[in-house]
Structure 1
Amino acid sequence: MRVVLAPDSFKGSASAVEVVAALARGWASVRPDDELVARPMADGGEGTLDAFEVAVPDARRMPVRVTGPDSRPVDAHWVLLPATATRPTTAVVELAATSGITLLEHPAPDDAHTLGFGEAIAAALDHRDAAGRGVEQLLLALGGSSSTDGGAGALRALGARLLDAAGDPVPLGLRGLDSLATVDLSGLRALPPGGAVILGDVDNPLLGARGAAAVFGPQKGVVDIDGADAALAHLASLLPHVDAATPGAGAAGGAGFGLLAAGAVMASGSRRIAEAVALASALASADLVITGEGRFDAQTAAGKAPAEVARLAADAGVPVAVVAGSVGSSAPAEGLAAIVELAALAGGSAAAIARAEHWLEHAGAELAGRLG
């Protein structure tokens, strides 16, 4: 058999590269002669940089020190993709690596911010090669955020001025949005010739019942959801050239909205990454594809990596198996060849998280036995 391994990361437990390796070990323990094709995936959240690094020849990791989401310095990186006949020189910057929730030492949901994400974008814009040429396109990966600041921190790092009624800079984070009186974008950094593309994994608007505060705020410890939504609405009122209802504007605590204000455009993160890793070509001669993520539920269908893998597999007529840390009752299971839940194998979610790679190996072996 030829089996393509195309999972997303299991957030907080294993990167997509580690998930692929563990599944491969498990499968090979049962069927050692099968061909296993690694195509680690992402959808714009945590692990996007890893997916590009693995998939794109000569991709370069570019170190950068930024202000983390709780204002401590963070050593991060962005990825430089060399130009090809079909792609300009491109910088990939990931919010999770610069302003992500895993970087918070002491969670403070009203103070967490995206300043570091903007600083990394600025560093990518400042990059020059030996001939003095800069990057020609930005890919901005959202997901895994710590904040609900509407992208205000990133805008500040890129040259915007966010001022109170006295003309002073407002505090970083959600806390500062209430005192905003002026958002001046006149000093905003220019985008490269190929523009900036937002790689998002959700289609939520900025405001309302499906907005950044209501849906993602509780995951980050935001207590006053209505107050947070009102603060984001106030920010949106000062940037009337951006439609707060744009699908994806609510991604990453509203960072999608802030990037739209800076001139970026929204795209499907999983679709762009599938193109980068040449997933469709890998599936063309495959007998099976195994995908997965930490939580497989109703949100998967809204642009998550396994949904994109399943779409391409359906086009190629390839059966799909899913491995997930946990599976929700509303998970899109129709048409799948198999679903393996690590929590069921391990006897609970905590045990599955603690030894994710161990149980991923078991999942790979179980699928080899059932589907091989």
Structure 2
Amino acid sequence: MRVVLAPDSFKGTISAARAAEALAEGWSSEDPDADIVPRPMADGGEGTVAAFAAAHPGAVRMPVVVDGPAGSPVDTSWLLLPPSAEQQGGTAVIDLASTSGIELLDGLRPWDADSTGFGQAIAAALGHGVSRLVLGIGSSASTDGGTGMLRALGARFLTASGTETVPGARGLRDVERLDLSGLLPAPETSVLTDVTNPLTGPRGAAEVFGPQKGMHDAGDRAQADAALGRLATLLGLDPETPGAGAAGGVGGALIVWGARLLPGAQEVARLVGLAEAISGADVVVTGEGSYDGQSGDGKVPSFVAGLAEDAGASPMLVAGRIAPDADPSLFRIAMSLTELAGSAEASLADPARWLRDAGARLAVEARRTGR
């Protein structure tokens, strides 16, 4: 039996690569002859670099120290994919989650967190000589409109008197002038995101994503929204552009820089060869930390399930939790680690253990039914 394991990360608890490994260990314990093919996935958020590293054995992690979302140093890395005939300088894969992500904060900083570290990692990759960038922009900590990132790439954001603005959304309110003369030119750049929200308005970066970054007051969100709108005018960006609101406005800043925004799960799947791996598979197992009502909208599990169906394979789901509003009908079997462990606390404490348990149970069921 050919089994493809293509989970996303279980955010904040276990990486996609480790989740696939644990599922494989569990499956093999019940079906040691299975042909197991791990293809850990991502949609542009946490685990994007790891997914590419798992799919490209020749890739090299390039260490870099950046200013994290709170301004303190963060030891991280970007991934260098080997040069090819098409990309002589190689491709850099960089995720915002590991440089300016919300998981890097000890406490939320809605006005002061910024995206500088992400820009510093991009600048380091450009300094190395890469000819292509693949950027994952999920899990942002800030609502700075991408000003921190652009500043790290050479842009200047000024008050009316010509002084530099402070980082984050706080400084964004004071931006009156731009100086883009020192901005580094963009190479071929693909941006992976599952967010199509505009920059401003009721579906914009501040209103929709501000609360999860600590911006709970409606008046604060209105201030941030207005500041993002002024920034868009200065940058010459249509704030209604789909995806401009991704990562607190980093999506819009990257559009202005010359990047292309692409559906995260779809592009990661293409670049790691997921469709080829699934071809001829009997079973495809995917998963994520919380499978909820939004998981059917371009997230990894629903996308992988579609590929499995197209290939004639049985799609199966393992999630940390399956929310009451979720529709798991895409999958022949759907398992919740919370239910297997008896509580959310138990599953979160040792997700690898319960993923191994889930893998073993799925193998037994697949063998019983002939997949």
TM-score by length of 1: 0.94
- 1:109 Cα shift? 1.6
- 1:62 Cα shift? 0.6
- 1:87 Cα shift? 5.2
Query: Which amino acid is 2:181 matched to?
Result: S
1:249 partner SS:
coil
Query: Which amino acid is 1:56 matched to?
Result: H
When structure 1 is superposed on structure 2, of 344-353 and 56-65 the one drifting more is 344-353
Kindly report which structure 2 residues correspond to 1:63-102, keeping only aligned pairs within 5 A, or say none: 63-85=63-85, 89-102=90-103
Partner of 1:61: 61
Is 2:253 the counterpart of 1:247?
no
Deviations 1:104-160 (A, max 9, x none): 134322100000100110011100xxxxxx211111111111111111100111111
Match among 225, 236, 244 for residue 221 of structure 2 = 225
Give the distance between the partners of 1:228 and 1:352, measured in 2 at CA: 37
- 1:302 Cα shift? 2.7
Partner of 1:216: 209
Contact 1:142 1:201 in 2 (8 A): no
Contact 1:113 1:173 in 2 (8 A): yes
Give the distance between the partners of 2:284 and 2:259, measured in 1 at CA: 33
Give the distance between the partners of 1:268 and 1:278, measured in 2 at CA: 16
Query: Which amino acid is 2:196 matched to?
Result: D
Partner of 1:266: 261
Partner of 1:103: 104
1:300 partner SS:
coil
Partner of 1:130: none
Contact 2:173 2:224 in 1 (8 A): no
Give the distance between the partners of 2:14 and 2:333, measured in 1 at CA: 21
Match among 319, 322, 332 for residue 324 of structure 1 = 319
Deviations 1:308-367 (A, max 9, x none): 212221221211111111122332423311111111222222222121111111211221
Partner of 2:52: 52
Partner of 1:350: 345
Give the distance between the partners of 1:209 and 1:347, measured in 2 at CA: 39
Query: Which amino acid is 2:125 matched to?
Result: A
Query: Which amino acid is 1:62 matched to?
Result: M
1:197 partner SS:
strand
- 1:85 Cα shift? 4.2
Percent identity of equivalent pairs: 53
Give the distance between the partners of 1:168 and 1:344, measured in 2 at CA: 56
Kindly report which structure 2 residues correspond to 1:109-258, keeping only aligned pairs within 5 A, or say none: 109-127=110-128, 134-192=129-187, 195-223=188-216, 224-240=220-236, 242-258=237-253
- 1:276 Cα shift? 2.0
Tell me: CA distance 1:159–1:254, structure 2 relative to 1, closer, same or farther (3 Å): same
1:28 partner SS:
helix
- 1:261 Cα shift? 1.6
Is 2:286 the counterpart of 1:291?
yes
Tell me: CA distance 1:119–1:329, structure 2 relative to 1, closer, same or farther (3 Å): same
Give the distance between the partners of 2:69 and 2:352, measured in 1 at CA: 29
Contact 2:165 2:174 in 1 (8 A): yes
Give the distance between the partners of 2:73 and 2:157, measured in 1 at CA: 22
Tell me: CA distance 1:269–1:335, structure 2 relative to 1, closer, same or farther (3 Å): closer
Contact 1:56 1:276 in 2 (8 A): no
Query: Which amino acid is 1:23 matched to?
Result: L
Tell me: CA distance 1:305–1:85, structure 2 relative to 1, closer, same or farther (3 Å): farther
- 1:7 Cα shift? 0.3
Is 2:341 the counterpart of 1:340?
no
Contact 1:202 1:304 in 2 (8 A): no
1:168 partner SS:
coil
Partner of 1:131: none
- 1:86 Cα shift? 5.5
Give the distance between the partners of 2:323 and 2:198, measured in 1 at CA: 23
Deviations 1:280-323 (A, max 9, x none): 11111100000011111232233222222122212212111111
Tell me: CA distance 1:335–1:303, structure 2 relative to 1, closer, same or farther (3 Å): closer
2:93 partner SS:
strand
Deviations 1:49-81 (A, max 9, x none): 111111013111111111111000111111111
1:302 partner SS:
coil
2:58 partner SS:
coil
Give the distance between the partners of 2:95 and 2:330, measured in 1 at CA: 33
Tell me: CA distance 1:142–1:172, structure 2 relative to 1, closer, same or farther (3 Å): same
